[in-house]
Chains A and B, each alone.
Chain A
Amino acid sequence: MLNHYRISHYSHFFISSKKEYLAYNSRSNTFIKLDKGLYEFYVDKKLNNISINEVNDSAFNILVKYKFVVKKEEDEDFLLERQFFEDRITYANNALSLVIAPTLDCNFDCQYCFEKGKEKGYMDKKTINQLISFIKIHKNIECLNITWYGGEPLLYTNIIRNILELIHRDFPEIPIRTHSIITNGYYFTKKAIELFKEYPLDSIQITLDGRKERHDSIRKMKISGKGSFDQIISNIDNIVKELPSTKVRIRVNIEKKNISDFILLKETYSKRWNGCKVIFYPGILRIDNKIGNAFSCEAIDRLEANRLFFDLSTQNKIEIPIYPKLVKFSGCGASMINFYVIGPKGEIYKCWNDVSDNSKVIGQLGESKLTNTSLYYRYIVGSKWYHNKECIKCFFLPICTGSCAFYRLKNKYSGGKYELCQCLQYGSDMLNQCLEYWYDNQYKKNLL
């Protein structure tokens, strides 16, 4: 008996601007060129939802192998497979990821800071010991991921040192797999450099709010009002010299008004730090509207961001991969069981956007049970793609890195109307443009 096949939901056919007949499958992330007759044959099958009889020829076999043509229930089975592996990662317990905020205090006074109502103070010894006990509870872990966060964590390098010493003393058999810090960079001075020579970092994230004038008008010192740009640049000079193995990720915040700042800073400072592990990337500012339920018009939306990245890439302003990538896990740390954000008073959060918001505390170090299990379950279970009808039926699912759990919960439980989809579905021609650009500029050039 012949097997009946059909065109996969994940298959996309299009004719390029140069009249080439192309097809892309998001499930296998495969891109092919077809003969015109073959193209028309399959497009007709897709448009009219006509089943296809199995045939023993090479073209058909290729289309089956790369999932352009599938058996009747294969697409549905793929969704089950994706969910299975999503859950397998979500509930794995062989690593513990901790984002630790030694303080919520900060030396800067940025207007847009989302940590509203944050209190001064720092993590005391009792809390530090509770943190160590918290790690001990996780008996199955084989490694740790540590990220220092704040407020500004480098206000208290002594606390960072203390915690790292205790971790190395009490868990000598558990390696720190990734070690990173998110800092404004101002206090990345000799003392911090000496600390991280002893306890090396994989990466440092430092944010610039655009070119010097704009940065200094936003990221100014809380007390003196003085700008911080020059000091941060000087500190990065020292970091790349003293910590050459550490990747420095410079996030340049942009909104509609200052897109050119990213290009200016990247071009200027890439030369200055040529050969060093410095990465510039545009940070798309998420600015809420006045009601606080959606992004404002000042913010660059998802579609504009995709267009921007495409333009920057095709102008060689930034090295962004144009070709899609398969994704194995569409969640984030907040949607995994062994990921916690620890505040300076020992309060536990799931997402670092929640830090300083008392209503988002899910538990407390030193206590045996979580205090806000509803929020815990919402992040871990409720934020999953398979609870979202649009995601389940989305062509882009296999290549989607997932949307932000924080905003997804705002949409689901707090009347939010945030546009979250990160893929290309709202720019109908963007996928075609990306694929065609890749074909013309990378595939064809490699043939020469």
Chain B
Amino acid sequence: MLNNKQQDKVVILKAEDSFDYNELSQVLGGANPMECDCVCMINCNSNDVEPPQS
């Protein structure tokens, strides 16, 4: 059991908002094929590799 001294001993460094699946309406029906993982495209961690604009 935690005691009172242990309260507030957690610091949130980074937290995402709760996962809102309603956003899915924006992607339903087809991911952008350019995001597809394939030989001709970014083929490793496609979401992570692409840097912001140069």
Contacts and interface: CB of A to CB of B under 8 A. Distances in A.
B12 to A, nearest CB: 5
Contacts of A327: 47
Contacts of B18: 28
Interface string B22-38: 01100111111111111
A283 interface: yes
A13 interface: no
B2 A55 contact: yes
B47 A325 contact: yes
Given A30-B14, A403-B37, A279 B31 contact: no
A11 interface: no
B27 to A, nearest CB: 6
B16 to A, nearest CB: 5
Contact of B13 (A32, A41, A89, A404): A32
A283 B10 contact: no
For chain A, the bracket of interface size reads: 35 or more
Contact of A281 (B1, B9, B49): B49
A281 B42 contact: yes
B29 A353 contact: no
A34 interface: yes
Interface string A174-218: 000110101000000000000000000011010100000000000
A260 interface: no
A282 B30 contact: no
A130 interface: no
Interface residues of B, number: 48
A59 B40 contact: no
B38 A351 contact: yes
A280 B29 contact: no
A320 interface: yes
Nearest to A325: B47
A363 interface: no
A85 B25 CA distance: 11
B54 A332 contact: no
B43 A309 contact: no
A28 B3 CA distance: 26
B13 A439 contact: yes
Interface string A93-112: 11111010000000000000
Contact of A332 (B14, B37, B51): B37
B10 A33 contact: yes
A89 B26 CA distance: 10
7 contacts: A62-B12, A92-B28, A97-B32, A249-B50, A320-B48, A326-B19, A338-B30
Given A203-B34, A281-B49, A401-B47, 16 more contacts: A37-B9, A57-B6, A57-B7, A58-B7, A59-B2, A62-B12, A88-B28, A94-B29, A99-B33, A276-B54, A281-B50, A321-B48, A329-B27, A339-B30, A352-B39, A404-B38
Interface of B: 1-2, 4-16, 18-19, 21, 23-24, 27-54
